[in-house]
Amino acid sequence: MDIRSHVSMVFHLDKCIGCHTCSVACKNIWTDRKGTEYMWWNNVETKPGTGYPTQWEDQDKYKGGWEREEDGKIHLRLHGRKKGLSNIFFNPALPTIDDYYEPWTYDYENLFNAPEGDDQPTARAVSMITGKPMDTIEAGPNWDDDLGGSPLYARNDVNLDDLTDDEREQLNELERVVFFYLPRICNHCLNPGCVAACPAGAIYKRGEDGIVLISQEKCRAWRMCISGCPYKKTYYNWASGKSEKCILCYPRLESGQPPACFHSCVGRIRYLGVLLYDADQIEKCASVPDLELVAAQRNMIQDPFDPEVIKCAKANGISDAMIASAQNSPVYKFVKKWQIALPLHAEFRTLPMLYYVPPMLPVLAKTDKDGKYDVAGLDNEGLPAMISSLAKARMPIKYMARMFSAGNVKEVEDVYRKLIAVRIFKRAQKVKDYQQAEVDAALAQGATNPEEVEAIFRLTSLPTYEERFVVPPLGREVAVEAWEKPLERKTEAGFGVRNKIAKRKF
Amino acid sequence: MIEHGKPSSHPRFFSFLLALGIALIFVATLFSVAFAKPSAQVDGEALFIAKGCNACHTIGGGKLVGPDLQGVTELRTNEWLTKWLTAPDQMLQTDPDAKALLVEYNNVPMPNLGLKPEEVAALIAYLGGGATISGATAELPAGDATSGKAYFVGDKRFENGGPHCISCHSVAGIGSLGGGNLGPDLTTSGFVQSDAAFASFMGAPSTQTMGAIWANTPLTPQEQSDLYTFLSRAAVTKREPSALLQIALLAIAGAAALIALAQVYWGKRLRGVRKPMIEQTLAARKRINAK
Ligand code: SF4
Ligand code: SF4
């Protein structure tokens, strides 16, 4: 066993209200510089929808992530060695700026300086790339925000491809609208496509916490990582000529704070903590057939209380404080103990370390011929209908499986059964309108028990700051004081190259 | 992570080598100065022939490639001649008389022969001495233009292993792409306008570049003759316009072929996702509405 530690994440989608506070927090700190205006290291998408960049999940187009051969080996979808070399000066799978969006601002000055005239002055939109006025703005990073039923965007969500017409109709059942939010950041994968695709060897994963970073000194602008990452979470800065990505706010982590998007999250959907995993299993896990991916990935994560695991961790130089942090980790609970958090698009085979608790299926209802809502009389496998039904979910289970379990319907159903059990249990406790028999049936179907349900409820609904963010003691900021004065850099800000890149010296 | 500028050990090692090298050169120079023989009186006529001056010039025998040098010491000052013989290439850039001469003699420049000061003095003394000398006479066997062309373009090897002309020179009549650009284009070169001049030049090339190349791998008389026959036939005052057109067409066709190849190789490249998606969806909706 080669035990390593990884700062990992859980997003509880039930709680996301789609406010984009996280995106704005991130933008204000990291991507308000020239060349980065179009980047949203954190973005929030409406699902069903096409996301940002448009249809990023369609790897037939973008060629991101890994592909499994028939012999069980995996290779980068983008290219192997030969093709990589022949494409080195021209990567044919790059998104265009239009697929992200052309960033713009407004000519606010005109509101003050316009000469007197018959009409109110206006602030025209101005491109932040060319500086020229933009007459029509056609796209934005969350252009299809809340357009759950839109025939232009929602219909083109690639996750809907496998659905039958009936299942698609389910989406339209109530007011023709259904959607949930999907906040996304870099997943800091265990088998990252971005790292594998980089010809310059500029991308690396930090040993102690697994954060994936692009060295601004080594990046040579080949832009293969842009295609290699199936989540499109590396971005090319056209002003500096280097690629950039989410750094999981490591300077904040090093001083004991959670990343800015986590800290600012209004819905408190974000959890951060350490996972211990077995690095020997990475290749094997990334190569199993689609339907086994989620289970294999869960298998890699090791129990931080197991003495054997602790021994191996220590042999690898993982500190006691780090192990204690892993034992406290909310991520470990969601992902491994309760098994209700799943990786996004496991079929890309990058082994993402950001897990999602899928959103509750929206209340099941139909409108009758008078336009009234009708929730009664729906079959829900013997459970009260009001909460939800797996069979007739408005967000079809197949759709959820395509997103969160590489198509394995059973994985997602198991998660939902447990989540439904939690709701029925708590409702029976508080509102007291369910029979004990119904509660017992729900607990049995969800393969859970009252203690577990209470624990899930507590960490979902009432967690404290310290329970949500168990930041391990990285202590670099403290350690660095030994040879550097941290405050000296206090007046400098931003991203980029600290050491001037000079010609190689003798 | 903050990286610390660790002083590398390389600069020290490098400067040590440098110092050692300079010291060695210094010592060697001292020795050569101390033990240099006082130079014997340089023989002007021998020098005139050895440096190949008579490939282009006579004294009292009329113009060849360059002017007849009889009475040149009266025409030009000693100072001018010294400058000219030492660095004709520089004079050609600055001196109006030198420029006029260049035009008069078909733009064949006087090459820089790399003469030492005492050699220059000897030559001027010789030129002022009233001696006469005729141009080098050709003693070349009959040449074959086809074989000359083969030597030029590299189809046939030179006996002594010299490089093929095409690697540095171009000439009309070897195909549209021509040859190298490093040396002058031989199509209009004055050196191929008389067999004597050519043979004498190629026998002991006096320019620095050619001299260095051919000193150890000289051409045989037969090779010289074949090359001369080919080159003098090719020698025309100017390239044919059709040849220039050919080059232009070839360049355009080449570029078009490369673009076509790239189109085929990268034909399936990603040409944007959002715009096509919107267009297709709107078109599909229109079709449905029309029904
Ligand atoms: S999600 Fe992050 S770590 Fe994973 S491939 Fe993309 S950029 Fe790399
Ligand atoms: S801040 Fe939190 S609740 Fe708001 S959009 Fe981001 S993840 Fe969702």
Task: Write out residues with Cβ below 6 Å of ligand 2.
Answer: A 16-22, 44, 181, 183, 265-267, 269
Q: State yes or no: pLDDT of B181 exceeds 90.
A: no
- Beta-carbon separation of A505 and B8 below 8 A: yes
- Residues ≥6 apart with Cβ < 8 Å to A305: A327
Q: State yes or no: pLDDT of A502 exceeds 60.
A: no
**B255: closest CA of chain A, how far (Å):** 17
Residues of chain A with pLDDT > 90, as a percent, come to 74
List the CATH number of the domain containing B97: 1.10.760.10
Q: Do residue A165 and residue A214 come from a single domain?
A: yes
What's chain A's average pLDDT?
90
The mean per-residue pLDDT over the stretch A18-34 comes to 94
Q: Do residue B233 and residue B261 come from a single domain?
A: no
Phi-psi region of B77 (alpha: psi -120 to 50; beta: other; left: phi over 0): beta
- Beta-carbon separation of A152 and B282 below 8 A: yes
Q: Which domain holds residue A106?
A: 102-138
- pLDDT tens, position by position, A353-398: 999 999 987 666 666 777 777 665 555 566 666 566 677 777 889 9
CB B249 within 8 Å of CB B168: no
E strand map for A296-409: 301-302, 342-343, 354-357, 366-367, 373-374
User: How many CA atoms are closer than 13 Å to the CA of B41, on its beta-carbon side?
Assistant: 5
Which one has a higher pLDDT value, A217 or A128? A128
Q: Do residue B160 and residue B232 come from a single domain?
A: yes
Least-confidence region, from A258-267, A482-491, B20-29: A482-491
With bands split at pLDDT 50, 70 and 90, how would you rate the model's confidence at B40? very low
With bands split at pLDDT 50, 70 and 90, how would you rate the model's confidence at B174? confident
Angle at A374 between CA A372 and CA A376, to 5 degrees: 155
Smallest Cβ–Cβ distance between B281 and the set A93, A94, A155 belongs to A155
Indicate if the alpha-carbon torsion angle A151, A152, A157, A161 is positive or negative.
positive
3-state secondary structure A166-179: HHHHHHCCCCCCCC
Tell which of B127, B160, B185 closes a domain.
Answer: B127
Distance CA B103, CA A475 (A): 80
E strand map for B110-202: none
Q: Do residue A145 and residue A185 come from a single domain?
A: yes
Tell which of A208, A242, A261 closes a domain.
Answer: A261
Q: Do residue A33 and residue A167 come from a single domain?
A: yes
Q: Do residue A85 and residue A182 come from a single domain?
A: yes
Which one has a higher pLDDT value, B142 or A359? A359
Q: Do residue B99 and residue B122 come from a single domain?
A: yes
Q: Do residue A161 and residue A201 come from a single domain?
A: yes
Is B92 inside any structural domain? yes
Is B36 inside any structural domain? no
Question: In this structure, which ligand is nearest to the CA of A188?
Answer: 1
pLDDT of the residue at B210: 84
Is B232 inside any structural domain? yes
Tell which of A244, A261, A278 closes a domain.
Answer: A261
Q: Do residue A78 and residue A189 come from a single domain?
A: yes
Q: Do residue B168 and residue B104 come from a single domain?
A: no
Burial class (CB in 10 A: 0-12, 13-18, 19+), B204: middle
Which residues of chain B lie closer than 8 angstroms to A480, CB-CB?
A: 2
Least-confidence region, from A380-384, A402-406, B42-46, B54-58: A380-384
Q: Which domain holds residue B206?
A: 145-238
Q: State yes or no: pLDDT of B38 exceeds 60.
A: no
Is A111 inside any structural domain? yes
Would you report the helix, strand and coil content of chain A in percent, each value rounded to 5?
35, 15, 50
Nearest atom in ligand 1 to the alpha carbon of residue A203 is 8
Q: Do residue A34 and residue A117 come from a single domain?
A: no
Q: Which of residues 153-212 of A touch B (CB under 8 A)?
A: 155-156
Q: State yes or no: pLDDT of B106 exceeds 80.
A: no
Give chain B's domain count.
3
Is A400 inside any structural domain? no
- Beta-carbon separation of B266 and A54 below 8 A: no
Tell which of B194, B218, B238 closes a domain.
Answer: B238
Is B6 inside any structural domain? no
With bands split at pLDDT 50, 70 and 90, how would you rate the model's confidence at A500? low
Q: Do residue B152 and residue B107 come from a single domain?
A: no
Write the CA distances from A366 to A121, A177, A233, A299, integer angstroms.
48, 12, 39, 40
Q: Do residue A252 and residue A111 come from a single domain?
A: no
Tell which of B238, B260, B285 closes a domain.
Answer: B238
Is A18 inside any structural domain? yes
Helix (H, G, I), strand (E, B) or coil at A51: coil
Residue from B273, B278, B282, B286 whose CB has the most chain A CBs within 10 Å, to mutate:
B273
Residue from B6, B269, B277, B288 whose CB has the most chain A CBs within 10 Å, to mutate:
B277
Q: Do residue A31 and residue A126 come from a single domain?
A: no
Q: State yes or no: pLDDT of A351 exceeds 80.
A: yes
Write the CA distances from A287 to A130, A284, A349, B163, integer angstroms.
44, 5, 8, 58
Is B160 inside any structural domain? yes
Is A404 inside any structural domain? no
What's A6's DSSP letter?
E
Is B28 inside any structural domain? no
Q: Do residue A145 and residue A39 come from a single domain?
A: yes
Out of A260-264, A317-321, A470-474, B182-186, give the one with best mean pLDDT: A260-264
Is B93 inside any structural domain? yes
Is A469 inside any structural domain? no
Q: State yes or no: pLDDT of B237 exceeds 80.
A: no
Q: Do residue A55 and residue A70 come from a single domain?
A: yes
Phi-psi region of A252 (alpha: psi -120 to 50; beta: other; left: phi over 0): alpha
With bands split at pLDDT 50, 70 and 90, how would you rate the model's confidence at B265? very high
pLDDT of the residue at A37: 94
Q: Do residue B231 and residue B252 come from a single domain?
A: no
Q: Do residue A109 and residue A158 come from a single domain?
A: no
CB neighbours of residue A103 within 10 Å: 17
Task: Write out residues with Cβ below 6 Å of ligand 1.
Answer: A 186-189, 192-194, 212, 229, 231, 233-234, 245, 350
User: Which chain A residue lies closest to B276 (C-alpha atoms)?
Assistant: A99
Q: Which of residues 247-266 of B touch A (CB under 8 A)?
A: 262, 265-266
Q: Do residue B149 and residue B227 come from a single domain?
A: yes
User: How many CA atoms are closer than 13 Å to the CA of B164, on its beta-carbon side?
Assistant: 17
Q: Do residue B149 and residue B225 come from a single domain?
A: yes
Is B119 inside any structural domain? yes
Q: State yes or no: pLDDT of A334 exceeds 60.
A: yes
Smallest Cβ–Cβ distance between B273 and the set A61, A152, A480 belongs to A61
Q: Do residue B245 and residue B210 come from a single domain?
A: no
Alpha carbon of A260 to ligand 2 centroid (Å):
12
Distance CA B33, CA B27 (A): 10
Give chain A's domain count.
2
Is A85 inside any structural domain? yes
